Amino acid sequence: MIRKTHIAISPYREFSRSEWSRLREDTPLNLSDAELDTLKGLNEPVSMSEVVEIYLPLSRLINLHYAASQQLFRATNEFLGLQKRKVPYIIGMAGSVSVGKSTTARILRTLLSRWADHPRVDLVPTDGFLLPNEEMERRGIMNRKGFPESYDLPAMLAFMADVKGGKHNVTAPTYSHLVYNVQPDKVLTIDRPDILIVEGLNVLQTSPASADPMPYVSDFFDFSIYIDASEEDLHKWYVERFLRLRETAFRDPQSYFHRYAVLSDGEARETATSIWEAINLVNLRTNILPTRQRADLILRKGHDHATEAVSLRGA
């Protein structure tokens, strides 16, 4: 009898928190406690040890990648006989609702901007590319906000192509979480930064297979990050954030969710769980989680929001 042995094959090298932290080497900490407090999101605790042990090694890795990419870009320009031009290094950051993408993106942006080789680092959330509520209501997809079909994909692709093409003053739409809608009168202007971080739920998705496949946002990335956590923790964090918002932003009469401000604790938890299970969990399982293995780096969080392990592709 021939006994078959199943060998787990993965393109990633796994690092424990302590193993990853040693890769910081002599990268200096240029972030104060006061600055860190301003970068944290609602109900997203981040300790200075998290910055030192997780984000400083990550910023060092990206700095090395950035330097190598610029050298390759110069070589390609020389081969093609093109004039010197500046093209941003683009980082994509994906993960579920409530996993802490925005906080991670802001911290990483701050750390990267303090390297001498790339002081100009910009951040663009993809929420601004959501279709307006009126259009989603017309299409009957308001209950699928955040799903791939709820974004203005042509506008996102045009933005990415212009930025990657080195154009000046490229604008991106913005989104208000207070009114739960895009803001047509406000834009972000991106003017050839050294590094651009693009953060969103589905940024690592690819276009569906077809006879004429179109490019997708992830095609423009030089490096990609997925922030991972268990469904149980994500659910808990979502409910906790909902309860905090009930006491803060939801009390604003302009808030789209103002009606939830009067809910009791029990009613708020029930409502948050219902929204999580009907929308966010479905989106996670169907669209977001399947893209995890496309990331160059995966940060795995534990129940306290701290990163427990790191996976790096091709290491």
- CA dist list (Å): 86 to 72, 83, 166: 13, 10, 6
CATH of residue 30's domain is: 3.40.50.300
On whether residue 205 sits in a domain, the answer given is yes
Name the CA radius of gyration of the chain, rounded: 20
Q: What is residue 133's three-state secondary structure?
A: helix
On whether residue 6 sits in a domain, the answer given is no
Do the beta carbons of residue 163 and residue 172 sit within 8 Å? no
- pLDDT of 304 strictly over 70: yes
> Torsion angle of alpha carbons 57, 61, 62, 63, nearest 10°?
100
Quick one: tokens of 172?
């991106």
Residue 6 or 115, more confident: 115
On whether residue 262 sits in a domain, the answer given is yes
Distance CA 208, CA 267 (A): 39
What's the predicted TM-score (pTM) here?
A: 0.94
Q: How confident is the model at residue 2 (pLDDT cuts 50, 70, 90)?
A: very low
On whether residue 3 sits in a domain, the answer given is no
On whether residue 309 sits in a domain, the answer given is yes
pLDDT of residue 85: 75
- pLDDT of 284 strictly over 80: yes
On whether residue 2 sits in a domain, the answer given is no
Do the beta carbons of residue 127 and residue 179 sit within 8 Å? no
On whether residue 243 sits in a domain, the answer given is yes
- pLDDT of 106 strictly over 70: yes
Do the beta carbons of residue 96 and residue 229 sit within 8 Å? yes
**Quick one: average pLDDT of 47-70?**
96
pLDDT of residue 295: 97
| pLDDT tens figures, 215-255 | 889 999 999 999 999 999 999 999 999 999 999 999 999 99
Q: Which long-range contacts (CB under 8 A, 24 or more apart) does 230-236 make?
A: 230/303, 231/281, 231/284, 233/301, 233/302, 233/303, 234/96, 234/97, 234/98, 234/99, 234/280, 234/284, 235/273, 235/276, 235/281, 236/303
**Quick one: average pLDDT of 81-107?**
92
| pLDDT tens figures, 14-56 | 999 999 999 999 999 999 999 999 999 878 889 999 999 999 9
Q: How confident is the model at residue 184 (pLDDT cuts 50, 70, 90)?
A: confident
Distance CA 198, CA 207 (A): 18
Domain that holds residue 307: 12-313
- pLDDT of 63 strictly over 60: yes
Q: How confident is the model at residue 1 (pLDDT cuts 50, 70, 90)?
A: very low
- pLDDT of 264 strictly over 90: yes
On whether residue 66 sits in a domain, the answer given is yes
| pLDDT tens figures, 135-179 | 999 999 999 999 999 999 999 999 999 999 889 999 999 999 999
Q: How confident is the model at residue 213 (pLDDT cuts 50, 70, 90)?
A: low
Query: Which residues are within 8 A (CB) of 312 and not within 5 positions of it... i.e. 6 or more apart?
Result: 12, 13, 15, 61, 296, 297
The domain total for the chain is 1
Q: Which of 100, 143, 125, 54 is nearest to 234 (CA)?
A: 100
